[in-house]
Amino acid sequence: MKVLVIGGGAREHALCRSLSQDPAVTELHCAPGNAGIAQVATVHQVDQSDGAQVTALARGLGAGLVVVGPEAPLVAGVADALRAAGVAVFGPSAEAARLEGSKAFAKEVMAAAGVPTARSYVCTTPAEAAEALDAFGAPYVVKDDGLAAGKGVVVTSDRDEALAHAAACGQVVIEEYLDGPEVSLFAITDGTTVLPLQPAQDFKRALDGDQGPNTGGMGAYSPLPWAPEGLVEEVLETVLQPTVDELRRRGTPFSGLLYAGLALTSRGTRVIEFNARFGDPETQVVLARLRTPLAGVLHASATGTLDQLEPLRWDEGAAVTVVIAAEGYPAAPRTGDPIEGLAEAEAADGTAYVLHAGTKAAGDGRVLSAGGRVLSVTATGAGLAEARERAYRAVERISLAGGQHRGDIALKAAQ
Protein backbone atom coordinates (compact mmCIF):
# COMPACT_ATOMS: atom_id res chain seq x y z
CA MET A 1 0.00 0.00 0.00
CA LYS A 2 1.24 3.50 -0.87
CA VAL A 3 0.36 5.93 1.91
CA LEU A 4 0.30 9.74 1.92
CA VAL A 5 0.21 11.58 5.26
CA ILE A 6 -0.93 15.21 5.36
CA GLY A 7 0.64 17.48 7.98
CA GLY A 8 4.03 18.41 9.33
CA GLY A 9 4.11 18.19 13.12
CA ALA A 10 5.27 15.65 15.69
CA ARG A 11 1.91 13.90 15.43
CA GLU A 12 2.54 13.31 11.73
CA HIS A 13 6.11 12.23 12.45
CA ALA A 14 4.71 9.68 14.92
CA LEU A 15 2.18 8.50 12.30
CA CYS A 16 4.91 8.27 9.65
CA ARG A 17 7.23 6.42 12.02
CA SER A 18 4.57 3.78 12.74
CA LEU A 19 3.55 3.53 9.09
CA SER A 20 7.19 3.15 8.00
CA GLN A 21 7.47 0.13 10.32
CA ASP A 22 4.37 -1.53 8.82
CA PRO A 23 5.42 -4.18 6.27
CA ALA A 24 2.22 -3.53 4.30
CA VAL A 25 3.40 0.00 3.47
CA THR A 26 5.45 -0.09 0.27
CA GLU A 27 5.84 3.68 -0.17
CA LEU A 28 5.41 6.47 2.36
CA HIS A 29 4.86 10.11 1.42
CA CYS A 30 4.11 13.19 3.50
CA ALA A 31 3.09 16.75 2.69
CA PRO A 32 4.43 19.12 3.81
CA GLY A 33 6.37 17.09 6.42
CA ASN A 34 9.40 18.39 8.33
CA ALA A 35 13.10 17.61 8.70
CA GLY A 36 12.47 14.47 10.78
CA ILE A 37 9.67 13.13 8.61
CA ALA A 38 11.94 13.51 5.57
CA GLN A 39 14.09 10.72 7.05
CA VAL A 40 11.27 8.15 6.85
CA ALA A 41 9.04 9.49 4.04
CA THR A 42 9.30 11.33 0.75
CA VAL A 43 8.12 14.86 1.43
CA HIS A 44 6.14 17.07 -0.96
CA GLN A 45 5.28 20.75 -0.83
CA VAL A 46 1.57 21.43 -1.17
CA ASP A 47 -0.93 23.69 0.54
CA GLN A 48 -2.29 21.09 2.98
CA SER A 49 -5.70 22.79 3.25
CA ASP A 50 -6.23 22.89 -0.53
CA GLY A 51 -8.34 19.86 -1.44
CA ALA A 52 -7.54 20.07 -5.15
CA GLN A 53 -3.77 20.17 -4.56
CA VAL A 54 -3.85 17.30 -2.06
CA THR A 55 -6.06 15.20 -4.36
CA ALA A 56 -3.78 15.84 -7.33
CA LEU A 57 -0.77 14.75 -5.27
CA ALA A 58 -2.56 11.61 -4.00
CA ARG A 59 -3.61 10.62 -7.52
CA GLY A 60 -0.19 11.36 -8.97
CA LEU A 61 1.40 9.09 -6.38
CA GLY A 62 -1.25 6.40 -6.75
CA ALA A 63 -1.84 6.53 -3.00
CA GLY A 64 -4.02 3.71 -1.67
CA LEU A 65 -4.58 5.61 1.57
CA VAL A 66 -4.36 9.26 2.61
CA VAL A 67 -4.12 10.06 6.31
CA VAL A 68 -5.06 13.64 7.21
CA GLY A 69 -3.31 14.67 10.44
CA PRO A 70 -4.30 18.25 11.42
CA GLU A 71 -7.74 19.77 11.97
CA ALA A 72 -7.47 22.69 9.55
CA PRO A 73 -7.48 20.58 6.33
CA LEU A 74 -10.36 18.47 7.69
CA VAL A 75 -12.47 21.51 8.51
CA ALA A 76 -11.56 22.89 5.06
CA GLY A 77 -12.97 19.75 3.40
CA VAL A 78 -9.78 18.05 2.20
CA ALA A 79 -11.15 14.59 3.10
CA ASP A 80 -14.31 15.35 1.08
CA ALA A 81 -12.25 16.26 -1.98
CA LEU A 82 -10.25 13.04 -1.71
CA ARG A 83 -13.38 10.89 -1.24
CA ALA A 84 -15.06 12.55 -4.20
CA ALA A 85 -12.05 11.54 -6.29
CA GLY A 86 -12.35 7.93 -5.11
CA VAL A 87 -9.27 7.99 -2.84
CA ALA A 88 -9.44 6.06 0.46
CA VAL A 89 -8.96 8.64 3.20
CA PHE A 90 -8.55 8.47 6.96
CA GLY A 91 -10.27 11.57 8.34
CA PRO A 92 -13.80 12.95 8.62
CA SER A 93 -15.77 15.11 6.20
CA ALA A 94 -15.94 18.86 6.80
CA GLU A 95 -19.49 18.42 8.12
CA ALA A 96 -18.44 15.79 10.69
CA ALA A 97 -15.25 17.71 11.58
CA ARG A 98 -17.47 20.51 12.87
CA LEU A 99 -17.45 18.45 16.06
CA GLU A 100 -14.05 20.09 16.54
CA GLY A 101 -14.48 23.18 14.36
CA SER A 102 -17.43 24.55 16.33
CA LYS A 103 -17.76 24.15 20.09
CA ALA A 104 -21.43 25.17 19.80
CA PHE A 105 -22.09 22.38 17.26
CA ALA A 106 -20.32 19.85 19.51
CA LYS A 107 -22.53 20.87 22.43
CA GLU A 108 -25.64 20.48 20.31
CA VAL A 109 -24.63 16.98 19.15
CA MET A 110 -23.82 15.96 22.73
CA ALA A 111 -27.19 17.18 23.94
CA ALA A 112 -28.96 15.20 21.19
CA ALA A 113 -26.91 12.07 21.90
CA GLY A 114 -27.25 12.30 25.68
CA VAL A 115 -23.49 12.59 26.16
CA PRO A 116 -22.41 14.00 29.56
CA THR A 117 -20.66 17.38 29.28
CA ALA A 118 -20.41 20.73 31.09
CA ARG A 119 -23.56 22.87 31.05
CA SER A 120 -22.99 25.81 28.73
CA TYR A 121 -24.30 28.91 26.97
CA VAL A 122 -23.42 30.19 23.52
CA CYS A 123 -22.88 33.98 23.80
CA THR A 124 -22.32 36.62 21.16
CA THR A 125 -22.70 39.92 23.05
CA PRO A 126 -20.89 41.26 26.14
CA ALA A 127 -24.21 41.34 28.02
CA GLU A 128 -24.90 37.68 27.26
CA ALA A 129 -21.36 36.77 28.29
CA ALA A 130 -21.67 38.65 31.58
CA GLU A 131 -24.95 36.93 32.35
CA ALA A 132 -23.52 33.46 31.63
CA LEU A 133 -20.40 34.11 33.73
CA ASP A 134 -22.53 35.14 36.67
CA ALA A 135 -24.85 32.16 36.25
CA PHE A 136 -21.95 29.72 36.73
CA GLY A 137 -19.66 31.76 39.02
CA ALA A 138 -15.86 31.42 39.27
CA PRO A 139 -13.70 29.75 38.05
CA TYR A 140 -14.86 30.95 34.64
CA VAL A 141 -14.45 28.94 31.42
CA VAL A 142 -14.65 30.90 28.14
CA LYS A 143 -14.07 29.16 24.80
CA ASP A 144 -13.67 30.65 21.37
CA ASP A 145 -16.36 28.99 19.23
CA GLY A 146 -14.02 28.42 16.26
CA LEU A 147 -10.77 26.53 15.69
CA ALA A 148 -7.98 27.94 17.87
CA ALA A 149 -5.28 25.21 17.89
CA GLY A 150 -6.04 24.36 21.52
CA LYS A 151 -5.35 27.94 22.60
CA GLY A 152 -8.80 29.53 22.45
CA VAL A 153 -9.80 28.59 25.99
CA VAL A 154 -9.40 30.83 29.02
CA VAL A 155 -9.96 29.38 32.50
CA THR A 156 -9.71 32.11 35.12
CA SER A 157 -11.15 33.40 38.36
CA ASP A 158 -10.75 36.97 37.10
CA ARG A 159 -14.17 38.07 35.77
CA ASP A 160 -12.66 40.97 33.77
CA GLU A 161 -10.21 38.62 32.04
CA ALA A 162 -13.08 36.26 31.19
CA LEU A 163 -15.14 39.13 29.78
CA ALA A 164 -12.19 40.45 27.78
CA HIS A 165 -11.60 37.03 26.18
CA ALA A 166 -15.29 36.79 25.27
CA ALA A 167 -15.19 40.23 23.68
CA ALA A 168 -12.02 39.41 21.74
CA CYS A 169 -13.46 36.15 20.30
CA GLY A 170 -16.89 37.25 19.13
CA GLN A 171 -18.98 34.09 19.54
CA VAL A 172 -17.97 32.07 22.62
CA VAL A 173 -19.16 29.10 24.62
CA ILE A 174 -19.22 29.81 28.36
CA GLU A 175 -19.53 26.76 30.53
CA GLU A 176 -19.41 25.42 34.06
CA TYR A 177 -16.00 24.58 35.46
CA LEU A 178 -15.18 20.86 35.55
CA ASP A 179 -12.98 19.69 38.42
CA GLY A 180 -10.94 16.49 38.38
CA PRO A 181 -8.15 14.96 36.30
CA GLU A 182 -8.25 15.01 32.50
CA VAL A 183 -7.98 12.03 30.18
CA SER A 184 -7.60 11.93 26.41
CA LEU A 185 -9.25 8.93 24.82
CA PHE A 186 -8.95 8.39 21.07
CA ALA A 187 -11.17 6.11 19.04
CA ILE A 188 -10.88 4.99 15.45
CA THR A 189 -14.23 4.76 13.73
CA ASP A 190 -15.65 4.17 10.25
CA GLY A 191 -18.91 5.88 11.10
CA THR A 192 -20.47 2.75 12.62
CA THR A 193 -17.90 0.61 14.46
CA VAL A 194 -15.89 2.36 17.19
CA LEU A 195 -12.48 1.09 18.29
CA PRO A 196 -11.09 2.88 21.35
CA LEU A 197 -7.32 3.21 21.70
CA GLN A 198 -5.43 3.37 25.02
CA PRO A 199 -6.03 6.44 27.21
CA ALA A 200 -3.35 9.09 27.65
CA GLN A 201 -2.90 12.32 29.56
CA ASP A 202 -1.38 15.49 28.18
CA PHE A 203 -0.01 18.63 29.83
CA LYS A 204 -1.55 21.81 28.41
CA ARG A 205 0.13 24.52 30.48
CA ALA A 206 3.53 25.89 29.53
CA LEU A 207 5.23 25.58 32.93
CA ASP A 208 5.86 22.98 35.64
CA GLY A 209 3.07 22.49 38.15
CA ASP A 210 0.45 23.41 35.51
CA GLN A 211 1.39 27.08 35.65
CA GLY A 212 1.63 29.55 32.79
CA PRO A 213 -0.43 29.91 29.62
CA ASN A 214 -2.29 27.16 27.75
CA THR A 215 -0.32 25.64 24.87
CA GLY A 216 -0.89 23.04 22.17
CA GLY A 217 0.56 20.51 24.66
CA MET A 218 3.94 20.16 26.40
CA GLY A 219 4.08 16.41 26.99
CA ALA A 220 2.05 13.24 27.50
CA TYR A 221 2.12 9.73 28.88
CA SER A 222 0.28 6.43 28.63
CA PRO A 223 -1.04 4.30 30.31
CA LEU A 224 -2.76 6.02 33.26
CA PRO A 225 -2.15 3.82 36.30
CA TRP A 226 -4.52 5.95 38.38
CA ALA A 227 -7.50 5.74 36.01
CA PRO A 228 -10.55 3.82 37.24
CA GLU A 229 -10.97 0.30 35.93
CA GLY A 230 -13.49 0.09 33.13
CA LEU A 231 -13.00 3.73 32.06
CA VAL A 232 -12.51 2.89 28.38
CA GLU A 233 -15.64 0.71 28.26
CA GLU A 234 -17.66 3.38 30.08
CA VAL A 235 -16.56 6.13 27.68
CA LEU A 236 -17.20 3.89 24.67
CA GLU A 237 -20.75 3.27 25.88
CA THR A 238 -21.68 6.75 27.15
CA VAL A 239 -19.67 9.05 24.87
CA LEU A 240 -18.01 7.61 21.76
CA GLN A 241 -20.66 5.23 20.40
CA PRO A 242 -23.62 7.60 21.01
CA THR A 243 -21.77 10.47 19.30
CA VAL A 244 -20.85 8.35 16.27
CA ASP A 245 -24.44 7.01 16.11
CA GLU A 246 -25.88 10.55 16.30
CA LEU A 247 -23.72 11.83 13.43
CA ARG A 248 -24.62 8.81 11.30
CA ARG A 249 -28.29 9.37 12.08
CA ARG A 250 -27.95 12.96 10.79
CA GLY A 251 -26.54 11.71 7.49
CA THR A 252 -23.06 13.08 8.23
CA PRO A 253 -21.20 10.00 9.49
CA PHE A 254 -17.92 10.60 11.28
CA SER A 255 -15.10 8.42 9.99
CA GLY A 256 -11.53 8.85 11.19
CA LEU A 257 -10.23 9.63 14.65
CA LEU A 258 -12.66 10.81 17.29
CA TYR A 259 -10.80 12.36 20.23
CA ALA A 260 -12.66 12.72 23.49
CA GLY A 261 -11.08 15.13 25.99
CA LEU A 262 -12.59 14.07 29.32
CA ALA A 263 -12.70 15.34 32.89
CA LEU A 264 -13.17 12.72 35.60
CA THR A 265 -15.18 14.93 37.94
CA SER A 266 -16.59 14.23 41.37
CA ARG A 267 -19.97 13.87 39.64
CA GLY A 268 -18.81 11.51 36.93
CA THR A 269 -17.06 11.55 33.57
CA ARG A 270 -17.73 14.63 31.43
CA VAL A 271 -16.62 15.57 27.91
CA ILE A 272 -14.50 18.74 27.86
CA GLU A 273 -14.11 18.76 24.10
CA PHE A 274 -14.09 16.66 20.97
CA ASN A 275 -11.39 16.78 18.36
CA ALA A 276 -11.68 15.31 14.89
CA ARG A 277 -8.12 14.03 14.59
CA PHE A 278 -5.23 12.48 16.51
CA GLY A 279 -4.16 14.65 19.43
CA ASP A 280 -0.67 16.07 19.64
CA PRO A 281 1.28 15.10 21.83
CA GLU A 282 -0.86 12.14 23.01
CA THR A 283 -0.50 10.37 19.64
CA GLN A 284 3.23 10.11 20.24
CA VAL A 285 2.71 7.93 23.35
CA VAL A 286 -0.36 6.02 22.16
CA LEU A 287 1.33 4.93 18.92
CA ALA A 288 4.51 4.10 20.83
CA ARG A 289 2.48 1.38 22.56
CA LEU A 290 0.42 0.09 19.60
CA ARG A 291 1.68 -3.27 18.34
CA THR A 292 -0.90 -3.83 15.57
CA PRO A 293 0.51 -2.50 12.27
CA LEU A 294 -1.06 0.93 11.77
CA ALA A 295 -1.82 1.09 8.04
CA GLY A 296 -4.37 -1.73 8.13
CA VAL A 297 -6.25 -0.09 11.00
CA LEU A 298 -6.47 3.30 9.29
CA HIS A 299 -7.38 1.66 5.97
CA ALA A 300 -10.22 -0.28 7.66
CA SER A 301 -11.61 3.04 8.93
CA ALA A 302 -11.28 4.58 5.46
CA THR A 303 -13.08 1.67 3.80
CA GLY A 304 -15.78 0.99 6.39
CA THR A 305 -14.47 -2.43 7.40
CA LEU A 306 -13.46 -1.88 11.04
CA ASP A 307 -15.87 -4.63 12.17
CA GLN A 308 -13.63 -7.18 10.41
CA LEU A 309 -10.45 -6.11 12.23
CA GLU A 310 -8.79 -8.31 14.86
CA PRO A 311 -8.65 -6.73 18.35
CA LEU A 312 -5.78 -4.25 18.66
CA ARG A 313 -2.61 -5.42 20.38
CA TRP A 314 -0.80 -3.19 22.87
CA ASP A 315 2.57 -3.07 24.55
CA GLU A 316 2.12 -3.71 28.28
CA GLY A 317 4.76 -1.07 29.06
CA ALA A 318 4.61 2.71 29.20
CA ALA A 319 5.51 5.67 26.99
CA VAL A 320 6.34 9.28 27.81
CA THR A 321 6.88 12.23 25.49
CA VAL A 322 8.43 15.58 26.43
CA VAL A 323 7.98 18.56 24.12
CA ILE A 324 10.88 20.94 23.56
CA ALA A 325 9.45 24.32 22.58
CA ALA A 326 11.11 27.45 21.21
CA GLU A 327 11.96 30.48 23.31
CA GLY A 328 8.90 32.71 23.56
CA TYR A 329 6.38 29.88 22.97
CA PRO A 330 3.36 30.10 23.03
CA ALA A 331 3.11 33.91 22.68
CA ALA A 332 5.88 34.69 20.18
CA PRO A 333 8.16 31.73 19.41
CA ARG A 334 11.58 32.49 17.99
CA THR A 335 12.55 30.34 14.98
CA GLY A 336 15.72 29.69 12.98
CA ASP A 337 17.89 28.39 15.85
CA PRO A 338 20.13 25.38 15.20
CA ILE A 339 19.27 22.12 17.02
CA GLU A 340 22.12 19.89 18.13
CA GLY A 341 22.41 16.44 19.70
CA LEU A 342 19.55 14.83 17.76
CA ALA A 343 21.46 11.67 16.90
CA GLU A 344 23.01 11.42 20.38
CA ALA A 345 19.55 11.57 21.96
CA GLU A 346 18.25 8.46 20.23
CA ALA A 347 18.77 5.07 21.89
CA ALA A 348 20.22 2.35 19.65
CA ASP A 349 17.60 -0.11 20.91
CA GLY A 350 14.71 2.17 19.90
CA THR A 351 13.58 2.92 23.47
CA ALA A 352 14.13 6.67 22.99
CA TYR A 353 13.65 8.66 19.82
CA VAL A 354 13.09 12.20 18.66
CA LEU A 355 9.94 13.18 16.77
CA HIS A 356 10.17 16.48 14.92
CA ALA A 357 7.50 19.16 15.08
CA GLY A 358 8.59 22.64 13.92
CA THR A 359 11.92 21.86 12.24
CA LYS A 360 13.45 22.37 8.85
CA ALA A 361 16.64 21.18 7.23
CA ALA A 362 19.16 23.88 6.43
CA GLY A 363 21.11 23.29 3.23
CA ASP A 364 24.30 22.59 5.18
CA GLY A 365 23.02 19.49 6.98
CA ARG A 366 21.98 21.33 10.12
CA VAL A 367 18.42 21.20 11.48
CA LEU A 368 16.81 24.52 12.46
CA SER A 369 13.81 25.32 14.62
CA ALA A 370 10.82 26.42 12.53
CA GLY A 371 7.85 26.57 14.89
CA GLY A 372 6.63 26.95 18.47
CA ARG A 373 6.79 23.32 19.42
CA VAL A 374 10.06 22.06 17.97
CA LEU A 375 10.57 18.44 19.09
CA SER A 376 8.65 15.71 20.88
CA VAL A 377 11.17 13.48 22.62
CA THR A 378 9.57 10.08 23.16
CA ALA A 379 10.65 7.03 25.16
CA THR A 380 9.22 3.69 26.20
CA GLY A 381 9.91 1.55 29.26
CA ALA A 382 8.59 -1.25 31.41
CA GLY A 383 6.79 1.37 33.49
CA LEU A 384 6.31 5.14 33.54
CA ALA A 385 9.36 5.74 35.75
CA GLU A 386 11.67 4.03 33.26
CA ALA A 387 10.06 5.70 30.23
CA ARG A 388 10.36 9.10 31.95
CA GLU A 389 13.97 8.60 32.84
CA ARG A 390 14.82 7.64 29.25
CA ALA A 391 12.86 10.55 27.79
CA TYR A 392 14.55 13.13 30.04
CA ARG A 393 17.98 11.59 29.44
CA ALA A 394 17.39 12.12 25.73
CA VAL A 395 16.10 15.68 26.28
CA GLU A 396 19.30 16.56 28.15
CA ARG A 397 21.39 15.57 25.11
CA ILE A 398 19.62 18.03 22.83
CA SER A 399 20.55 21.67 22.64
CA LEU A 400 18.39 24.46 21.25
CA ALA A 401 19.17 28.07 22.18
CA GLY A 402 16.35 29.38 24.39
CA GLY A 403 14.56 26.02 24.20
CA GLN A 404 12.11 25.23 27.00
CA HIS A 405 10.51 22.05 28.31
CA ARG A 406 8.59 20.97 31.37
CA GLY A 407 10.42 18.88 33.96
CA ASP A 408 7.35 17.25 35.47
CA ILE A 409 5.79 15.28 32.60
CA ALA A 410 4.33 12.03 34.07
CA LEU A 411 6.06 12.76 37.37
CA LYS A 412 3.06 12.26 39.65
CA ALA A 413 1.75 9.25 37.73
CA ALA A 414 5.16 7.55 37.88
CA GLN A 415 5.36 7.76 41.68
- Minimum CB distance to ligand AMP, residue 113 (Å): 18
- Minimum CB distance to ligand AMP, residue 232 (Å): 19
- Minimum CB distance to ligand AMP, residue 141 (Å): 4
Q: Which is nearer to ligand AMP, 294 or 323 (CB)?
A: 323
Q: Which is nearer to ligand AMP, 144 or 190 (CB)?
A: 144
- Minimum CB distance to ligand AMP, residue 173 (Å): 9
Strand partners, 141: 155, 175
Nearest-CB residue for ligand AMP: 273
Q: Which is nearer to ligand AMP, 61 or 411 (CB)?
A: 411
What distance in Å separates the CA atoms of residue 219 and residue 390, rounded to the nearest whole number?
14
- Minimum CB distance to ligand AMP, residue 147 (Å): 10
- Minimum CB distance to ligand AMP, residue 324 (Å): 21
Q: Which is nearer to ligand AMP, 90 or 203 (CB)?
A: 203
Q: Which is nearer to ligand AMP, 1 or 155 (CB)?
A: 155
Question: Phi and psi for 212 in degrees, rounded to 5?
Answer: 85, 180
Handedness of CA 34, 35, 41, 42 (dihedral sign): positive
Q: Which is nearer to ligand AMP, 58 or 75 (CB)?
A: 75
Q: Which residues are near ligand AMP by CB under 6 A?
A: 118, 141, 143, 150, 153, 155, 175, 177-178, 182, 204, 214, 261, 272-273
